Every structure is written in structure tokens, then in C-alpha cells.
Amino acid sequence: MRIAYQVAGQGALDLVFVPGFISNLDLQWEDEGYSRLLKRLSTFSRLILFDKRGTGLSDRIDSRHLPSVETRMDDVRAVMDAVGSGRAALLGASEGAPIAMLFAATYPERTRALVLYGGYAHFHKWVMPPERLEAFIETAETAWGTGATLPGFAPGRMEDAHFIQWWARFERLSASPTAASSLARLDAGIDMRGILSTIRVPTLLIHRRSDVRVDPEASRFLARNIRGARLVEIPGRDHPVWTGDVDRVADIMEEFLTGQPAVADTERVLAALLATRIYDTAKLGDRMWSERRQRFHETWRLLVGRHGGRVGGPHGELMIARFDGPARAIRCAAALREVAQQIGVASAQGIHVGEIELRGQPVGLTARVTMQLAIHAGRGDIIASRLVADLAVGSGLHFVDAGRITLDELGEPLPVVQATSEQHLEPACRSKARPAEPAALTARESEVVSLIADGKSNAAIAAALKLSEHTVKRHVANILLKLDLPSRAAAAAFSARHAGPEGP
């Protein structure tokens, strides 16, 4: 996936503009108001612009597999990495605000400050209820590219023939009708209310008092729930940040960003925790149970890393892993569930999202709730808090309501969901099928794995088979890949399990 981006200005601070519903990096410079805003922002910042995936100049997406908010947050990080920005202020406009909020909560060490213009935490509550959404989607599907959506965004520009023409091109060149409808449905699932208390960076909120698209109460709610947030309400009805008095918007931002000490609490971050436990359901002997448990632990470390997680320390029989987003945690849990079945043990897993200390092992309330969920889960279950499902909207993952459970750590019952069966999960979260027999190996690979089982080093195997050590390393890598094994030790154990009278 290629994300289109631009950099303008050479100011002392980096400012990433996370756009709203649609955008187009080229076309935005053709509108007088839009270009004026960008030029003003670039006078005091190095302004980093990009089109979200599926819009503008970025790669198009399959409307059946839309990006989640978490994926779009990752795109912000990728753009910052591409332009060499280690730490930046984020301007989240409209639908870009939830992405910016999630980024600031997850990566406070990379967030200098947060500016939210016309933002919201919950789509249906403050943007449009379901019935209005369906009417908007019907308009998009039948009249997209004609400028028909303009009254819902900037009714004050309806008498401006030049702007109407530009808006129609803006629709056409920013998204297809199908993509626009799909993205509207994706945005409708946004609910960031559960993470607002975890945002600890300096935050400025700007909202027009009569905003036609996003109820001003949305920013008032954000101001009450984001620690230390400052709200500035300005006159106006048109929603886009580049309409109306853009100079005033730029002035407010400049004063905030250049006069703010920009001290963030980077010791605590928003993270998704996955707690996994396995247990013996077949009355295995101590030795066999120990071997299977060890094999699962090795594979657990491999799969956590493969899904972008970080391994935490053991908590009794529970294994804890940390992820930057809930979708990664769920996919990893699904892969672990499949591996547990293959190994011959039962798994139960819990997932929760909350604040944790940036350094050290996951501890505190978030970790304790996650562990309680894993203890509550039954065989093969992946139980998650409702917040996990809210943040995973658009990921393609599916959940069913599991009611509420009472946890020792909380004063009131916690709403929970259960990740549904494997066939409903994205293919990316399924682990590769493990070959059941060594017949999947070539004759040479079978020789190599047999010598690994004998405890020989790569150098010793090279000497025995009259190969170069580099060739042996390649064979070992292919063996581990084909058998989906985490280490040479696991390959040796595999060889021992499948050895016949003449060896593997």
C-alpha cells in the first residue's frame, strides 16, 4: 500500500495534517481557502500532508476490506518515518480527529501536541444518526462527483459557482462513489470515547459554533474528557477547516503550537494487552504436558513478534503480550488458538485496551483486567472488553456480544465481546498450516534436520554433507519456514517425533 504525502515549509516544528473524509494533495492547492490555510501553517511549521489510504493520490482499497482506524493510525506513523519526523504535532480535522487522538494516546512520545478541528469521538451521536447516514450514502452512490454533498459540508458556499465546480472535482478526484459510500460506513463505526482519558499531550480543540456537519457538543465533550484540553469556539456554519476565516484558525493554532511548552506524559501509553493461558485437557503425563507447554511457549513468542507485539513476563500460568493496536492482538490470539489445537492443549485468552507504563512489564489496572478476562474465558474463547471491539471497527474482525462480567478490579460490570470463529477472521490472522509429515521436506532438508536432531552445529553439518556453511544456513531457514517452527530446537523435536526406524 502506497500512501501519498507532501512536505511544505521549513518551520521549527513538524505538523502532520490528518485530513477528514476525503482529500487530494494536488487539488487542495487549487482552492483559494485551502491553499491559504496550508501556506499559513507552513510559515511556522514543517507541514506534512498526506492522503489517507483509499483517497486522493494514495492507493485505492478494496471496498470489501476497508482500513480500520488502527491501520490509518499506522499510516500516520509510516508517513512520519518516511519524512524523518521523530516527533510532531498532529492536526486532526473532522474524521481525521479520531485517528489523531488514537495516535496521540498510543504514541505520546512521538506527539508534540494535538489540535482537533471539528472533531468528535462518536460518529452517530455527534455527526449523523443512522437514518441520515443512509440518506448521505444514497446521495453519494447516485450523485457523487456532481457536488451534491456540498450542502452537508459547506452550505455557505452554495452561491459560489466556482467553489461548487471545485467541490465536484474534489469529490471525483478524492474517491470513487463506491469508496465514498464504504468510507462513510467505516467512519460511522468510530467510537473513541473510551480512550479520551488516556490522552496526555497538550490538546487544542477548535469548533465552529453552528457547524453544519459535526455538532459543537462533540468538542465540548472532548474538552471535558481530555485532560487539560483547551476549547476555542469560533463563528461559522461551514464545516471544512479550509472554509470561513482560515486566518483566524491558523492564528489560534500558531499561538498554541509555538507558545506551548509541549510537555507530554510519555511514561504511560495506550496499548492492547493479550493474556493467554493453556491447560491440559487430556490428562497428559507430566513429561508430555511439560513438552507441549514448552512447545507452545516457544511458538507464542514467535507469533507475538510476527504480529508486531512485545512479549511481557509470565504471571503464573498466564502469558502477557503488548500490542500497539487491538486488531493485532486479536489476530495473534486467533493464531495462538489454532496453534494450541495443533499442539494438543486448550487455550483461553483475554484482550483489553488501556493505559500501561511505557517501561517495564505490563502491570496495573489494565494488566489485571486483561488477566481476569483470560481467567474468565472458556476453552478456545477469545474474550475482549467492548472497547477492543469499538477500536477494531473496520478491521474486518467480527465479534458477538458476551454480556457483562463482574471483575474484582472494577466497581461495575464490564461489557465484553467474544471474537467469532476462525472463518470470520481475516486470513492474515490465521497461522500457516503446519505440515504434518516430514515428506514436505526435500531429501537434502531431511538430512539436515536429522543432523540438527543429533545436536550438530551448522559448521558440523556442512562438513558432514560437504556443503558450504552458507548453504546449510539456507537449508535450516527453509526447514523452519516449511514446518513453521520457531527454532533449531523445535526442528530437532519435530525430527524426533517423526523419526522412523531409519530416522526422518
Residues 6 or more apart in contact with residue 200 via CB below 8 angstroms? 105, 108, 227, 264, 265, 268
Quote the pTM value: 0.72
CATH of domain 438-498: 1.10.10.10
What's the rounded Cα separation, in Å, for the pair 504 and 502?
Answer: 7
Average predicted confidence (pLDDT) for the chain:
85
The better pLDDT of the pair 394, 180 is held by: 180
What's the rounded Cα separation, in Å, for the pair 303 and 298?
Answer: 9
**Domain 268-429 fold:** Alpha-Beta Plaits (3.30.70)
Q: How many CA atoms lie within 13 A of 123 on its CB side?
A: 23
What's the rounded Cα separation, in Å, for the pair 85 and 81?
Answer: 6
Please compute the mean of the pLDDT values over residues 435-451 and round it to a whole number: 68
What per-residue confidence (pLDDT) applies to 421? Answer: 47
The CA-based angle 66-308-366, given to 5 degrees, is: 95
The better pLDDT of the pair 381, 392 is held by: 381
What's the rounded Cα separation, in Å, for the pair 418 and 439?
Answer: 38
Residue 216 DSSP label: T
Whether CATH 3.40.50.1820 fits 5-121+192-259: yes
What per-residue confidence (pLDDT) applies to 454? Answer: 79
Pairing state between β 318-323 and 310-315:
antiparallel
Domain ranges of the chain: 5-121+192-259, 268-429, 438-498
Please compute the mean of the pLDDT values over residues 277-283 and round it to a whole number: 74
Please compute the mean of the pLDDT values over residues 278-304 and round it to a whole number: 80
Q: Which pLDDT band, with edges at 50, 70 and 90, does 436 fall under? A: very low
Residues 6 or more apart in contact with residue 205 via CB below 8 angstroms? 115, 116, 119, 219, 222, 223, 226, 229, 230, 231, 232
Listed residue (195, 222, 187) closest to 207, CA to CA: 222
Q: Quick one: angle between helices 96-106 and 69-82, nearest 10?
A: 70
Q: What string of DSSP letters covers 146-170? A: TTTTGGGT-GGGTT-HHHHHHHHHH
What per-residue confidence (pLDDT) applies to 236? Answer: 94
Q: Which pLDDT band, with edges at 50, 70 and 90, does 235 fall under? A: very high
Express each pLDDT in 102-127 by its tens digit: 999 999 999 999 999 999 999 999 99
What's the rounded Cα separation, in Å, for the pair 327 and 397?
Answer: 8
